[in-house]
A and B are shown apart, each in its own frame.
Chain A
Amino acid sequence: MDIIGAPLKRVDAKEKTTGQAKYTGDLVPRNALVAKVLHSTIGNGIVKSFDLTEAWKVPDIVDIVTCFDVPDIQFPTAGHPWSTDKKHQDIADRKLLNTRVRFYGDDIAAVIAENELAAREALRKIKVTYEEFEPVITVEDAMKPTRIPIHEERPDNVVVHSSYEIGSYEEARREPGLIKIEGDYETPIVQHCHIEKALSFAYIESGKIVVVSATQIPHIIRRICSQALGVGFGDIRIIKPYLGGGFGNRQDALTEPLNAFLATRVAGRPVKLEYTREETFNCTRVRHAMKFHIESYVRTDGSFAARSIIAYSNQGAYASHAHALVANAINGFRMMYPVGAIKGEAYTVYTNLPTAGAMRAYGIPQIGFALEAHVDDIVAKTGFDPIEFRKTNMMKLGYVDSLTTITCHSTGLAECIDKGERYLNYTEKRNTYKNQSGPIRKGVGMAIFCYKTGVYPISLETAACRMVLNQDGSFQLQVGATEIGQGADTVFVQMAAHTVGVTVDKVHLISKQDTDVTPYDSGAYASRQTYVSGMAVKKTAESLKAKILDFAGFMLHKDPWDLDIKENFIVHKHKEEHLLSVAEVAIESCYSLTNSQHIAAEESHHCSDNTYAFGVCFAEIEVDIPMCQIKVLDIINVHDSGKIINRQTAEGQVHGGMSMGLGYGLSEILKFDPKTGKMLNGNLLDYKLMTPIDTPDLHADFVETNDPTGPYGNKALGEPPVIPVAPALRNALFNATGVAMDSIPLNPEKLFFAFEHAGLYK
């Protein structure tokens, strides 16, 4: 049986169902001190002074560090590969603790104590004197020239402003006979809500600062900690155990730099820094709220002549991933329907809100909502068929994006649409559900997306892998790429076994990353690992196989070129007869009295290509107009992610993304006090993520293409499932009620005003 595509059970599932799997919090040494961070209780201002007198009196206090005690170093936190080109380096705009308070909850001091209760009590007893400024919550307000800059390096609070133009927009929109459709769309601030909170612990061992952390990006965290503390890369060691979910939040330095510094304050004794759930909401990262203005000029044949977008992204207090997300959004706007003249412009703006960073699909859920809502607004106004209109204008095979060179090497998007359409019987239902009356109405909606695989060529794509053969013919597989719940470890085992020619039980995957030991990889983000890290696994497996065959050739007195490995045995190419087992080769290679060799392979791969994944969501809903509620009756996502390496884990990714998309579309929004910028619902009760009873049965399906650039024909899958769900629900609501919502979530509060405005309560 072909291992690629086989429904192999997850390699870590048994450990995780028995409680044996160790996460960061399970590894904290018993003698660890406990650190707690003092967060500002104003949203904008300056710390003038602290009164620590009462705090120092708390028994079991070991140290108190304030923003006046930390190194005078500004560092970046974004989980991007470092750029040696200064122009492309991430923005260094924060210190370990900050005197300049930029949001309600900024890190201004830290306490280290023998136990958690003492640390908490000391925090309560610290008195802070601030100079307060009026907090700035919205992008519009932040861009007013009268505002005090949130960062002195950006006097107008604009982090980055960028634009592009394909063809001549002004010329193209003057073509006679065009229909103009414009709209404004808005998406909310939401949060990742991985169930394991943000945490780490740090200590000094053999002169190195060791940080054990719940991170997606251990090698990048090492670089950031070294920058933040002003020490060498080699002075820091990051260990990443099993991780309780990430979704992009942990593609950023969170507790690690401060935790590393705190360990140096107590002579290297272990210090734990674990955020509460409320801190995890407020003081890690959130998804950027974005606002879009879209204008489209459509010909009577249903093709785009010209279209434009202006986007505003609310960055919050610190740059983190900054403009990369909204730039990705306006790029996605261009790539999805690359027809006619296209103009894009985007602003990323500092405000006094929690810092926005990476979150599953990196700007594309935002543009995915705006663009696919806009497309249904176009078809409503023009009468075009929503599927035909999309098929006419969407990206086709061979498309080369002129600004990034990213090429459409394979596409099954049209087949995905057809499969979803047939599943839901969309076209017929859409017509049936038009012009309903009464309080309970049904509707169907759909939305499509494209998503690139990894970050090349915008950023570096590189990965490395190591395999070490054991005397029994099994081998260790070690990658810098991280398992964060998505199933990476399992597919790496499948890839390695397939390419070497052994059964999966011969592959011992080392899940934990340790930057002193593990080969380099930039980590889990951008749905890159099966593609980019998969290339490194394939390259290393080919190298290991060649070395095994070399030694087998020596043992058999045959030319290794004639040999192959099939299911743990050395065979003649194209023959079935077993000449030797891999185990026999392995033990002889180790203990040969004349020719001992310790067979191992290590390769790194510099990826220099990219490819698009595609997909679609079709949803049917029931709307209770008096109750302002939406019930999802049926929902399916169909994905083209190239060849599916493991159907079961792939379905799991789709289900999880759909659930997150349902929350994004229906209920999730972080709320803030407009006067102070204080987060109002940063806990798992008041923040409405999907619970079991909110979640309908989820259907996942695939159209398998064989991408020529993917190491095994595969393309991105981890992030994409979240993208099309919210716009499909919005378009279903439009079909059911005629109400075209321009923002999410479609929660009762918002629906009430929209239905009232539309006259549905008359």
Chain B
Amino acid sequence: MARKLVSCTVNGTKRHYHIDVRASLSDMLRNEEGLDSIKHGCDVGECGACTVLIDGKPFNSCIYLAIWAEGKSILTVEGLNDVKTGISDIQQAFIDAGAVQCGFCTPGFIMASIPIIESDKPASRDEIRRQVAGNLCRCTGYEKIVDAIEKTQKKRIAERKSSS
């Protein structure tokens, strides 16, 4: 089957892959990079467990062809782990709020929440729910996930205000 060269940035590093044109982005990142935070819960874009950021926007990587990633910048949960400073505030907020149970949906939820916490417009709890509506969790009832996102967004807005 046809293969194609794909060049993209993954978690800040420029990468080149010679990839089967039929492969999904999630398969490419799991198989070629070992980015196992990307989970497959449905393989058809229903559950959101494979959510990654592509040029800053959340996508279901299971239904995003790997070849479409040409020239794009991709961020996964592994890219939030800083070797020097440790984990990011949103990851810590998930831990502190008790937003993690089985953990299978957790990386996808964290990635889906990044546009919310990076926005200057404060989001209500209902707005947070709407923005992560493409992600499913069967363990938490979403309550503590919304808590973690809400808290981190407030913290980020306050930080930006105090530094500006």
Show the binding face of A for B, using Cβ within 8 Å. Answer: 9-10, 12-19, 21-23, 25-26, 192-197, 242-245, 247, 276-277, 484-487, 648-649, 651-652, 655-660, 683-685, 689-693, 695, 697-698
A14 touches B138 (CB 8 A): no
A192 touches B138 (CB 8 A): yes
Interface residue from B91, B102, B135, B136 paired with A485 (Cβ < 8 Å): B102
A484 touches B140 (CB 8 A): no
Contact with A along B110-126 (1 / 0, CB 8 A): 10000000000000011
A19 touches B107 (CB 8 A): yes
6 smallest CB-CB distances across A and B, nearest first, come from: A19-B37, A485-B102, A16-B103, A244-B104, A659-B141, A655-B141
Q: With both chains docked as a complex, state the minimum distance between the C-beta of B82 and any C-beta of chain A, in angstroms.
A: 11
A14 cross-chain contacts in B, Cβ below 8 A: 87, 91, 95
B110 cross-chain contacts in A, Cβ below 8 A: 17
B132 at interface, CB cutoff 8 A: yes
Task: Name the CB-closest residue of B to A276.
Answer: B43
A698 cross-chain contacts in B, Cβ below 8 A: 141, 143
A692 touches B102 (CB 8 A): no
Contact with A along B46-59 (1 / 0, CB 8 A): 11010000000000
Task: Give Cα A655–Cα B101 distance, bound, in whole angstroms.
Answer: 11
B146 cross-chain contacts in A, Cβ below 8 A: 692
Task: Give Cα A657–Cα B47 distance, bound, in whole angstroms.
Answer: 19
Task: Name the CB-closest residue of B to A648.
Answer: B98
Contact with A along B82-109 (1 / 0, CB 8 A): 0000010001101110101111111100
B35 at interface, CB cutoff 8 A: yes
Interface residue from A193, A242, A651 paired with B98 (Cβ < 8 Å): A651
Task: Give Cα A683–Cα B41 distance, bound, in whole angstroms.
Answer: 11
Show the binding face of B for A, using Cβ within 8 Å. Answer: 35-37, 39-44, 46-47, 49, 76-78, 80-81, 87, 91-92, 94-96, 98, 100-107, 110, 125-126, 128-130, 132-133, 135-146
A13 touches B100 (CB 8 A): yes
A656 touches B100 (CB 8 A): no
Task: Give Cα A130–Cα B118 distance, bound, in whole angstroms.
Answer: 58
B103 touches A244 (CB 8 A): yes
Query: Which of A16, A22, A683 has the most chain B CB atoms closer than 10 A to its own CB?
Result: A16
B87 cross-chain contacts in A, Cβ below 8 A: 14, 17-18
Task: Give Cα A652–Cα B102 distance, bound, in whole angstroms.
Answer: 11
A692 touches B138 (CB 8 A): no
B100 cross-chain contacts in A, Cβ below 8 A: 10, 12-13, 16-17
Task: Name the CB-closest residue of B to A487.
Answer: B101
Task: Name the CB-closest residue of B to A12.
Answer: B103
Interface residue from A15, A486, A692 paired with B101 (Cβ < 8 Å): A486
Task: Give Cα A386–Cα B125 distance, bound, in whole angstroms.
Answer: 34
Task: Name the CB-closest residue of B to A683.
Answer: B46
A648 cross-chain contacts in B, Cβ below 8 A: 98
A195 touches B43 (CB 8 A): no
B129 touches A693 (CB 8 A): yes
Task: Give Cα A247–Cα B39 distance, bound, in whole angstroms.
Answer: 19
B81 touches A18 (CB 8 A): yes
A485 touches B96 (CB 8 A): no
Task: Give Cα A26–Cα B126 distance, bound, in whole angstroms.
Answer: 34
Chain B contact residues: helix, strand, loop or mixed: loop
A21 cross-chain contacts in B, Cβ below 8 A: 103
B140 cross-chain contacts in A, Cβ below 8 A: 652, 655-656, 659
Beyond A247-B138, A659-B141, whether A684 also contacts B46 by CB under 8 A is: yes
Q: With both chains docked as a complex, state the minimum distance between the C-beta of A196 and any C-beta of chain B, in angstroms.
A: 5
Query: Which of A15, A192, A655 has the most chain B CB atoms closer than 10 A to its own CB?
Result: A655
A487 cross-chain contacts in B, Cβ below 8 A: 101
Q: With both chains docked as a complex, state the minimum distance between the C-beta of B139 and any C-beta of chain A, in angstroms.
A: 5
Q: With both chains docked as a complex, state the minimum distance between the C-beta of B25 and any C-beta of chain A, in angstroms.
A: 16
Given contacts A23-B39, A195-B47, A689-B136, 15 further A-B contacts (CB under 8 A): A10-B98, A14-B87, A17-B87, A19-B76, A19-B77, A192-B138, A196-B41, A244-B102, A485-B104, A485-B139, A652-B140, A655-B144, A656-B138, A659-B141, A690-B142
A697 cross-chain contacts in B, Cβ below 8 A: 125, 143
Task: Give Cα A697–Cα B47 distance, bound, in whole angstroms.
Answer: 21
Q: With both chains docked as a complex, state the minimum distance between the C-beta of B92 and any C-beta of chain A, in angstroms.
A: 8
B143 touches A195 (CB 8 A): no
Q: With both chains docked as a complex, state the minimum distance between the C-beta of B106 and any C-beta of chain A, in angstroms.
A: 5
B129 touches A277 (CB 8 A): no
A658 touches B141 (CB 8 A): yes
Task: Give Cα A487–Cα B144 distance, bound, in whole angstroms.
Answer: 15
B139 cross-chain contacts in A, Cβ below 8 A: 245, 485, 652, 656
A195 touches B44 (CB 8 A): no
B81 cross-chain contacts in A, Cβ below 8 A: 18-19
Task: Name the CB-closest residue of A to B95.
Answer: A13
A17 touches B138 (CB 8 A): no
Task: Give Cα A648–Cα B137 distance, bound, in whole angstroms.
Answer: 18
Q: With both chains docked as a complex, state the minimum distance between the C-beta of B9 and any C-beta of chain A, in angstroms.
A: 18
B125 cross-chain contacts in A, Cβ below 8 A: 697
A485 touches B141 (CB 8 A): no
Q: With both chains docked as a complex, state the minimum distance between the C-beta of A725 and any C-beta of chain B, in angstroms.
A: 10
Task: Give Cα A46–Cα B62 distance, bound, in whole angstroms.
Answer: 37
Q: With both chains docked as a complex, state the minimum distance between the C-beta of B97 and any C-beta of chain A, in angstroms.
A: 8
Beyond A196-B41, A698-B143, whether A19 also contacts B138 by CB under 8 A is: no
A9 cross-chain contacts in B, Cβ below 8 A: 95-96, 98
Beyond A17-B77, A17-B91, A19-B35, whether A242 also contacts B141 by CB under 8 A is: no
Q: With both chains docked as a complex, state the minimum distance between the C-beta of A19 and any C-beta of chain B, in angstroms.
A: 3
Query: Which of B35, B98, B126 has the most chain A CB atoms closer than 10 A to its own CB?
Result: B98
Beyond A10-B98, A655-B141, whether A683 also contacts B42 by CB under 8 A is: yes
B104 touches A23 (CB 8 A): yes
Beyond A651-B98, A652-B98, whether A195 also contacts B133 by CB under 8 A is: no
B42 cross-chain contacts in A, Cβ below 8 A: 197, 277, 683-684
B102 touches A196 (CB 8 A): yes
A25 touches B35 (CB 8 A): no
Task: Give Cα A11–Cα B104 distance, bound, in whole angstroms.
Answer: 16
